Structure 1
Amino acid sequence: MTARENISSYRWAVLGINGILLAAVYMSLSSWAVAVPELKEYFNLSSTYIMLGSAFLIAGYSIGSYVEGHLLAKYGWRKVLGIVMLAFLLASVAIPYAPNYPVVLLLRFIQGWGLVVVITSNVVSSWFPVRQRGIANGILLGMVPGGVAIGGVVSGNLLPSFGWQNTFLILAAIVAVCVILNYLISKDAPLEISEQKPVEQETEVVVNDISPKKPNIYRTAAVWLMGLAMFCNFFQVYGMYSFLGDYLYTLGFAPVAVGTLILLNGLIGVVSTPVGGIVSDRIVSSSGNALKARAYSMVFVGFLVAAIGSWLVPFLAPLGFGLASLAMIIMGWGIPATNGPLASLPVDLFGPKVGGEAFGLVLLIAGAGGIIAPIFVTWMASTFGWYVGWFITGAAAAIGVIAGLILPAAKPDL
């Protein structure tokens, strides 16, 4: 086997172990939603206060992603990953012993730093050339809904026998094993890959890490448009999940049916996330323009489908389980399909080092959507009706469509 073939094979191993780590982290965190009844009883709080834990997690995720993106270029992924995962594991172990709920919220914020999307995506992106970067990030981020789905099943089986405290500890131990495996398997990408320009026809679209001029991501319109698109991504998803269960119950669906519909909505992302990446890679290969390829893929395969699906839900779901399932699948397909192109584009534009900083800024902007949406959408739906709630979630995706259509015109001045 030649050196090139060895590299080609090894990059998939790097993708695999980083995907497993990401799935394990999200599997661990999904236990929170399953444990809500026990948490309410243990801390004697309402569901609203318990779900503040999710808001603190998202806040930690967005702020942590921004900081991690900046630290990657200076210290490398190994040191940054080690620090944040140590903090994540310590917080996960401490939550079952927390004396009160404010301490739990602080620990949830720390856990959010362990949602290592920026780090794992940066590592994977550095190993793959631009024509494969979309599918690589699509597979990687497809592990997120997969981990959540698996975590729901695992937590649901562990809780009755072990309680919520021990369930948290068991899942934290699984994450610790995956972190160790990641360190043993993952290595830094060779320079000929990590500093490779994506396409000869569009060399002006990308800057190498060895470029004498470091681009200012804060003055780059494309970065802010990516941030707006990811804001819409978070807003639609977290807004939808904030009232989806309650809405389905009002239609008369039994708990098993509600659980199945929510599962369908989430699991379809395991398929659509890599598909979005594949489509963007195909467009890159045919057009030679990474910026347009990623933007149009996330618009037509992702945001547009999410908007249509959200607006269809209040018309199809009341007609029965079959049509409700169809609506869940359409709506659930859209947003995950944007993740592969959006995660690939910062490295496409700036290279791995500056790309990590750019992606961190994008997720910082996005985090605001994840925090605002559950409060705002739930309030609007409860005050003005379910149709308004679904219109708003669909409108967020529609704004993502607009951002994606404008994005190709915002060519970075590198």
Structure 2
Amino acid sequence: MARSRPIVVISIWVAPFARGCSTTSTSLALRCREREPSTPSAFTAVTGAATTLMQLLVVRLLFGVGEGAFPAASFKTIAAWFPKKERATASAVMLTANTLGAALSPLIVVGIMATWGWRAVFFVLLIPGILVSILFWLVVKDRPSEVRSVTEQELNEIEGDDAPGEVEGAQRRTLKDILTPEIWKYFFAFFIFDIAYWGFTSWLPTYLVQARGFSMVEMGAAASLPFIVGAVGRVGGGWLSDRFFKDNRRILVIGTQVCSALFLYLTFVATSTWALILCQTAAGFFLSVFLSSFWALPMSTIPKRDMGLATGFINTGGQIGGLISPLCIGALLQVADGDFGTTFIFLVACILVSLVIVLMMGKRPRAAAEVGV
């Protein structure tokens, strides 16, 4: 790895970690469009000042708009600073930090809220977002070529495996220009899989308490396990993709989908408490491995010039899936009179449909430049 990239990878880790802890990191969004100012940290603080429901809704909506730049900006930064052979690992580190931040945030938030009240949470959490923004502004440049300490040899290492059509600074392109069949496959594969992912993670506590009779304390401990192993799964998925599957990354993606579907099913049919805990933990692990291994596909095939726009579009599919997933699960439970069997069938079916879409990508998804992007 080039000497400069350890600084970048540390920054990429710190930014989403702070974002996960505070839900405020402006981090990589600063790099989305030539250091364009981002807004999540400011709107986090404003949330604490809201006095009516309408004010709260407006502020959170604006927060979401500002935060929306994060995924696309982060993947674009990684594409600019890492060669293709290392991008899956770098993106996995970023995704893992985000997961760890979300896991640790309750510990931080509860202490602040107990001491100073709920409004203070949003004021205090403005601080890490601002600090991370400053860190990124000072440390990370848009391109390695803008850093004097990066040598020509390092630049060649980073850019050596890029196709001729992937040069930064090429003619600006619109969303319409990049919407090839391959991009649509990425979009729908992620959209449908995220329905299963968020359906499992959002309804697992309810399932453990209502269907399995767990106490609140037991539920808290058991429901945290998928997230803990998920952090390992995310970084592991990226590393495995770069280390063993760089010639056919789709194999790892399909394998994690099969395992995710299997352990979701076993979670429902498990007859003992320990079998249930083991299966739901394994399900969380493979669901997380999928996330990092899946993103390795577009990270290795989309040209740098289109990385921000394309990954932003793909991520939108996942966000839509995450939005409708809890609603779908709630509706299914209502129709099934609280029977979770229908819910688990739905989750497994979503994963299998996503798997079929990945199979349609072919043995090795072609680079966007090869299909007219």
Q: Which residue of 2 aligns with 1:196?
A: 159
Q: 1:220 to 1:243 in 2, by over 3 A?
A: same
Q: Is the 8 A contact 2:79 2:299 kept in 1?
A: yes
The TM-score with structure 2 as length reference comes to 0.85
Q: 1:131 to 1:284 in 2, by over 3 A?
A: farther
What letter is aligned with 2:234? T
Which residue of structure 1 aligns with residue 235 of structure 2? 274
Which string of whole-angstrom CA distances, capped at 9 and with x for unpartnered residues, describes residues 198-221 of structure 1? 37xxx59x7444667969654411
1:13-67 CA-to-partner distances (Å, cap 9, x unmatched) read 212112211121122239xxxxxxxxxxxxxxxxxxxxxxxxxxxxxxxxxx9xx
Contact in 2 for aligned 1:309/1:328 (Cα 8 Å): yes
Counterpart of 2:136 in structure 1 is: 182
Q: Show the counterpart of 1:265.
A: 226
In structure 2, the CA distance between the partners of 1:214 and 1:175, relative to structure 1 (3 Å rule), is: closer
8 Å Cα contact 1:198-1:348 kept in structure 2 = no
Distance 1:188 1:348, change over 3 A: same
Q: Distance in 1 between matches of 2:314 and 2:178?
A: 11
Structure 1 position 297 matched with structure 2 position 252 = yes
* C-alpha contact (below 8 Å) 2:226/2:284 kept by paired residues: yes
Displacement, 1:343? 3.0
Pairing partner for 1:28 from 22, 30, 33: 22
- Secondary structure of residue in 1 paired with 2:202: helix
Distance 1:101 1:118 in 2: 30
Residue 204 of structure 2 corresponds to 244
Whole-angstrom CA distance in 1 between matches of 2:46 and 2:253: 39
Indicate if the aligned counterparts of 1:22 and 1:117 stay in contact, CA closer than 8 A.
no
Unaligned runs of 5+ in 1: 31-64
Answering whether residue 289 of structure 2 is matched by residue 329 of structure 1, we say no
CA contact (8 A) 2:45 2:125 kept: no
Structure 1 counterpart of 2:12:
18
Moved over 6 A (4+): 210-215
1:310 aligns with 2:264: yes
Q: TM-score, normalised by structure 1?
A: 0.77
Q: Distance in 1 between matches of 2:320 and 2:194?
A: 8
Aligned residue pairs, count: 350
**Deviation at residue 381 of structure 1 after TM alignment:** 2.2
Q: Is the 8 A contact 1:230 1:363 kept in 2?
A: yes
Taking structure 1 as reference, are residues 182 and 259 closer, same or farther at Cα in structure 2, changes over 3 Å only? same
What is the match of residue 106 of structure 1?
58
Give 1:401's match in structure 2, choosing from 343, 347, 355.
355
Tell which deviates more after alignment, 115-124 or 341-350. Answer: 341-350
Conserved? CA contact 1:194–1:351, under 8 Å? no
CA positional deviation for 1:118: 1.7
- Offset of residue 334 of structure 1: 2.1
The alpha-carbon distance between structure 1 residues 12 and 395, as it changes in their structure 2 partners (threshold 3 A), is farther
Amino acid of the structure 1 residue aligned with 2:77: V
**Structure 2 counterpart of 1:360:** 312
Cα separation, 2, equivalents of 1:388 and 1:364: 27
Unaligned runs of 5+ in 2: 146-154
1:143 aligns with 2:97: yes
Other-structure match for 1:40: none
2:345 to 391, 395, 400: 391
Distance 2:358 2:107 in 1: 35
Q: What displacement does 1:362 show?
A: 0.5
2:221 partner SS: helix
Does 1:340 find its partner at 2:303? no
Distance 1:222 1:213, change over 3 A: same
Map 1:75-90 to 2 at 5 A. 75-76=33-34, 78-79=35-36, 83-84=37-38, 87-90=39-42
Question: Residues 353, 364 of structure 1: CA spacing in aligned structure 2 closer, same or farther, 3 A cutoff?
Answer: same
Tell me the C-alpha RMSD between the 2 structures: 2.7
For residues 178 and 380 of structure 1, the distance between their equivalents in structure 2, rounded to whole angstroms, comes to 41
Give how far 1:233 is off: 3.3
2:3 pairs, out of 2, 9, 12, with 9
Secondary structure of the residue aligned to 1:9 is: coil
Structure with a larger share of its residues in helix? 1
CA distance in 2, matches of 1:193, 1:110: 40
What CA distance in whole angstroms lies between the structure 2 residues aligned with 1:193 and 1:254?
Answer: 57
Change in CA separation of 1:193 and 1:159 when aligned onto 2, cut-off 3 Å: farther
SS of the counterpart of 1:327? helix
Aligned match of 2:148 = none
Within 2, Cα distance between the matches of 1:394 and 1:13?
40
1:280-336 per-residue CA deviation (whole Å, 9 max, x = no partner) reads 213455x3xxxx42x222221x322221222121112x521x222212211111222
Distance 1:139 1:171 in 2: 23
Shift of the 213–10 alpha-carbon distance from structure 1 to 2, 3 Å rule, reads: closer
In 2 relative to 1, CA 160–148 (structure 1 residues): closer, same or farther, beyond 3 Å? Answer: same
Secondary structure in 1 matching 2:159: coil
2:124 paired with 1:164: no
For 2:345 and 2:278, locate their aligned partners in 1 and report how far apart those are by CA, in whole Å: 18
SS at match of 1:252: coil
Match of 1:407, SS?
coil
